[in-house]
Amino acid sequence: MAETLYRKYRPARFKDIRGQEHVTRTLRGALMLDRVAHAYLFAGPRGTGKTTIARIFAKALNCENLKEGEPCDKCSTCQAINESRSVDIIEIDGASNRGIDEIRNIKEIARVASSQNRFKVFIIDEVHSLTKDAFNALLKTLEEPPAHVKFILATTEPHKLLPTVLSRVQRFDFKKLSLAEIIDKLKHIVRSEKISAETDIFHIIATNAEGSLRDAESSLAKLISVSGTAITLDQAKDILGFIPTDQYAKALDLILAKDQSGGIKMINDLYVSGVDLSLFTDGLINFSRKIIIAKAVDSPKESLGDEFLDDHLQYVEKIANTVESADLIKIINRLIQVRHDLKTSPIPQLPLELAIMDLAI
C-alpha cells in the first residue's frame, strides 16, 4: 500500500506540483522560450519534489505535444518516461554509484545523440556523494556538454558542492512544504481513495512530516494499511506517536512552579508509556518558542500562520501571560542541550531529569 500510494500520487505534470512555484514557473518559461540551460541543480530537503520535477522536466524536454511548457503526458515519449522505459532519461544515484567509472560512462553515453528524442537527460541524485575524481570528470562534461544533453543534479546538501560545480549550473532551492500545502494534498488523496478521516488527523500527519510530502504520504499510507477506509484520530495519534499539547503545557507548568518531583515523575511516566523522549523534547522546544512569539507579537496566529494548531493557541496564550521571556529562553537553551545529550545518554530519561532539576530551582 505504501508503495502504491506513493507512486499513484506522484505528480505527472507541473500543474500538479504543490508549492515550488518559483521552480515550475521558471522551467516552464524556459521551455516556452526554448531557452533551457544545459545544467540545473535542484537543492533542498527530502521529499519536496526534486526527483518528481526532474522527471516532469525530462518529459517536457522531449514531449511531442508540449503546450505552454507543460508535457502532454499522453504521447509515446511521455508514457515511456512515466514507465521508466526511455533509454534517453538516465537516472543515476550518486550515493550508490559514486565512482569515476560511472561518470566516464555518462560521458560515453552523452557523446552520441539519441535516435528518438531531442534530448538525453541525465538526472544525478545526491550528487554531493560522488567521489572527488568522479566529480572532476563530471565537471569536464558539464563544461562543454553536447547540445543534445541536459543535466539535472539533485542534492539535499548543496553546501558540500564545490564552487566549480555551482558556477556551471542554474540553481533552484526547493522549499519545505507548508502545513497547508501538505494538508491539501493529503485531503486530495483521502478523497480519491474514498477514505474517511477526521480533520485533525491531517494536521497531525503534516506536523510530523516537517515539510516533506513524501514523509506525509507514507504516514498516511501506514494509517490506511492499519485502519482501512475509516481512520480514527486515536489510531492516528497512536501510530504516529503524537504527543498531546496538554503534556507540553503541563511540563512547563511544573518547571515554572519549581516542582522537581512532579517534573521527574512526569518524565518517567512518559517514558514508561512509550513516548519517544527526543520527540517530546523537540515538541517542548517548539511549544516554548510559540509562547515567546506570542509574547512578542500582537497576533501569534497571524505571525505563525498555519504553524499554529488551534489546539495550541488556547494553552499558549494562557501560559504567555504568566511567564517571563527570559525564563523561556533559559528553558529553550537547556532543552537544546538535552537534545544533544539524549543521543549519548545511557539512561534515556536522564538528560530530561537533569534539565528539570536545573530549571526547577
Ligand X SMILES: Nc1ncnc2c1ncn2[C@@H]1O[C@H](COP(=O)(O)OP(=O)(O)O)[C@@H](O)[C@H]1O
Cβ distance to Mg ion smaller for residue 51 or 97: 51
Q: Which stretch binds ligand X (CB under 6 A): 14-22, 72-80, 194-202, 273-281?
A: 14-22
Beta-strand pair 39-43/89-93: unpaired
Among Mg ion, Zn ion, ligand X, none, what does residue 300 contact (CB within 5–8 Å per kind)?
A: none
Q: How many residues does the chain have?
A: 361
Binding mask 145-184 for ligand X (x = CB under 6 A): ----------------------------------------
Quick one: which of 2, 12, 13, 18 contacts ligand X (CB under 6 A)? 18
Residues 68-87 within binding reach of Zn ion (CB under 5 A): 71-72, 75, 78
Q: Considering the rule CB under 6 A, would residue 262 count as an interface residue with ligand X?
A: no
Q: Considering the rule CB under 6 A, would residue 288 count as an interface residue with ligand X?
A: no
Per the CB < 8 A criterion, the answer to whether 45 and 176 are in contact is yes
Least Å distance, CB 129 to Zn ion, is 32
Quick one: which of 51, 155, 207, 212 contacts Mg ion (CB under 5 A)? 51
Cβ distance to ligand X smaller for residue 49 or 145: 49
Least Å distance, CB 41 to ligand X, is 13
Least Å distance, CB 265 to Mg ion, is 45
Residues 226-255 within binding reach of Zn ion (CB under 5 A): none
Classify the phi-psi angles of 201: left when phi > 0, otherwise alpha if psi is within -120 to 50, otherwise beta.
alpha
Residues 178-237 within binding reach of ligand X (CB under 6 A): 185, 213-214, 217
The Cα 324–Cα 117 span in angstroms is 65
Cβ distance to ligand X smaller for residue 21 or 238: 21
Classify the phi-psi angles of 212: left when phi > 0, otherwise alpha if psi is within -120 to 50, otherwise beta.
beta
Phi, psi angle pair for 120, to nearest 5°: -95, 130
Q: Considering the rule CB under 6 A, would residue 103 count as an interface residue with ligand X?
A: no
Q: Return the exposure string of 85-113: e unless at least 16 CB atoms fall within 10 Å of the residue's CB, then b.
A: ebebbbbbebeebbebebbeebeeebeee
Cβ distance to Zn ion smaller for residue 75 or 189: 75
Collapsing DSSP to helix, strand or coil, 10 comes out as: coil
Cβ distance to ligand X smaller for residue 40 or 248: 40
Least Å distance, CB 257 to Mg ion, is 47
Cβ distance to Mg ion smaller for residue 91 or 358: 91
The Cα 88–Cα 116 span in angstroms is 8
C-beta contacts of 52-55 below 8 A and 24+ residues apart? 52/10, 52/11, 52/17, 53/14, 53/17, 53/20, 53/23, 53/24, 53/27, 54/123, 54/152, 54/154, 55/81, 55/89, 55/123
The Cα 65–Cα 74 span in angstroms is 9
Contact residues for ligand X (CB under 6 A)?
6, 9-11, 17-20, 46-52, 185, 213-214, 217
Contact residues for Zn ion (CB under 5 A)?
63, 71-72, 75, 78
Contact residues for Mg ion (CB under 5 A)?
50-51
